[in-house]
Amino acid sequence: MELLNKRYKLGRVLGQGAMGRVHLAQDVTTNQQVAIKECFAQNNDELIERIKREYELMKSMDHPGVVKAIDFLHFDNKYFIVMEFIEGITLHELIQRGRRTVKFVKQLEIAIKICEAVYFLNKNGIIHRDLKPQNIILDANYNPKILDLGIAKLENVDHSITQTGNIIGTPTYMSPEQIDGKSATNSDVFSTAVILYQFFSWAKQSPFHGHGAISSMTNVVEKKLPPINLKLAYKNYEVRLGKTFAKSMRKDHEKRSKTVENMLTAFKDTLKAIKRKEIINKVITTVGSTLVTGLFILLWVLRGSFMVDNDSPLPNTHFEDGNTFFSQQKYSEAITEYRKAINLGEKSGEIFYNIGLCYSSLEKYQKSIKYYTEALRYWRGEVWENPYSASGHFQRARAYVLTKQFEKALKDLNKTLEILHKMKAFGDLGSANQVKKTAKEIDEELAAAYFLRGVLHYENQKNTATIQDLKKAITLNPSLKKQASEILEKARANLKK
């Protein structure tokens, strides 16, 4: 087969549109696969100018989120742009596959990289003007790259092919000012927000999609979108993301976010919050069930030693039913049974603590805080302070962290460590009726408390305190080393800056 420019061996067609077709090709000099865009210029000086400018822009852009041009060919009245080849799918294709394709965390990572690429283009004076899911390709690891700078515009540079009055872009994703034949420095902000709103909604079409181009453009100018609707597990992040999208999709470009930086920050903060939550949950799982359900198990087996006397068997029955539901992870049903026991007069720190655990498991942390607080109120009056109140303080600290009440969390963790250290020093603080904890169990609880406090110090950018607490946690429980290593590495790096 004849080589293009004696270098490129053309293969299958990857795609085709009104302005050209893209071939997969082999660069015989480097033995690398490339993509070659064959442009349909048809002796049109305006189109030829656009093709040349697209190559120059792609050639000058050096960013991992923007496809880079390699070569430009012109012969036999044909024009070709040689680009790096990305093996993957477009964002459009990913969205069509549906909600279960990637997790919310991966969506955030993709959105962050898209915003970083758009920010890079805009910062370098380039307005893409045709951002859409079809123009974003994802590699095998879901790293996005922006394609097609064919109608991109350099800020403050007047080109005959981009003069005011021409509608340029894709109707369902273009900004309102583009419909008027104009473009603003933040036109790409609007388009990016529309793309990501669709992506997080898993909608098959743009939220402004109409029955035709005129209908779609009318929607862009007039339609107000409802707040973003996320999966139940991520409802807590809807308000922040909703406000961010609203600012980025304001119809008046002068009132719209000036850059995609507002979205970028929101996505990064959301991702950071989710990962912080994952770290906290992971450490609790890693150290075993002692701190999360250890008290629950003890109360289930030995509740006769703890519960208040009551002539009626009904409270006990409801408590046991609640325990059964808890063990089956039917937390709402467990709460119902525990409340029945309370209504029948059975009130104690233990039952309130168990309700707190149920609400924590349902990720209703504000409610869990209320019940942990009630449990601690009951325990506080006991001799030497009930040793299991350490678990109450720890669980409330965890809930405080997950609701970003960091100062309160720190106080509870300090109290947890104080009680546990007393227990370790005196062998046990329990009465004769209570089960004594082994040294290993106390060390595991201390390790969990130090680890969580270390994570909290890291979030507060107290790197030295982070390192100290995580080291203590690892010493007490070496199994935490793997999880602590990433945070330790980051904390040490921060100290060197």
CATH number at residue 215: 1.10.510.10
130 is catalytic: yes
Q: What is the CATH number of the domain that holds 59?
A: 3.30.200.20
302 and 442, same domain (yes or no)? yes
In a domain? residue 435: yes
pLDDT single digits (tens) 302-326: 444 444 444 444 567 888 899 889 8
Residue 410 lies in a domain: yes
Residue 445 C-beta-side C-alpha neighbours within 13 Å: 33
- Give the C-alpha separation, 131 to 134, whole Å: 8
Query: Tell me, what's the pLDDT at 387?
Result: 63
Query: Do 218 and 122 lie in a common domain?
Result: yes
Task: Enumerate the known binding-site residues.
Answer: 37
Q: Which of residues 51, 84, 117 is at a domain's end?
A: 84
Provide the annotated binding site for ATP: 37
The reported pTM is: 0.68
Asked, for residue 339, whether it belongs to a domain, the answer is no
Domains held by the chain: number: 3
Residues 173, 300, single domain; the answer is no
Longest dimension (CA), the chain: 100
Of 130, 188, 412, 469, the catalytic one is 130
Q: Please, what sign has the CA dihedral across residues 238, 244, 247, 249?
A: negative
Residue 443 covered by a domain: yes
Q: Is there a domain that residue 439 lies in?
A: yes
Residues 270 and 139 in one domain: yes
Mean pLDDT by 10-residue block, N- to C-terminus, for the chain (497 residues)?
Answer: 83 81 91 89 80 84 90 86 91 90 93 96 87 93 85 47 54 91 90 96 93 91 88 78 93 94 94 79 54 45 42 67 89 94 86 92 93 90 63 90 88 92 70 59 87 88 94 92 87 87
Same-domain status, 149 and 232: yes
- Does residue 213 lie in a domain region? yes
Say how far apart CA 234 and CA 241 lie, in whole Å. 11
Q: CA-CA distance, 303 to 334, in Å (whole number)?
A: 16
Q: Residue 403: what pLDDT?
A: 84
For residues 161 and 265, membership in a common domain is answered with yes
On the 0-12 / 13-18 / 19+ scale of CB atoms within 10 A, 329 is exposed
Does 58 share its domain with 106? no
Tens-place pLDDT, residues 181-197: 888 889 999 999 999 99
Q: Out of 50, 84, 118, pick the residue that ends a domain.
A: 84
The CATH number of the domain holding residue 460 is 1.25.40.10
What pLDDT is attached to residue 444? 85
Residues 51 and 132 in one domain: no
Residues 123 and 32 in one domain: no
| Domain endpoint, select from 84, 116, 149 | 84
Report the pLDDT value the prediction gives residue 160, as an integer from 0 to 100.
31
pLDDT score, position 286: 54
Closest CA to 452 of 410, 489, 485: 410
Identify the domain containing residue 409 by its residue range.
287-307+348-496
- Kindly state whether residues 291 and 416 are assigned to the same domain: yes
410 and 452 both lie in a single domain:
yes
Does 64 share its domain with 107? Answer: no
- Please report the pLDDT score of residue 280 as a whole number: 67
Task: Decide if 55 is inside a domain.
Answer: yes
- Closest to 189 (Cα-Cα) out of 101, 295, 263: 263
Q: Is residue 467 part of a domain?
A: yes
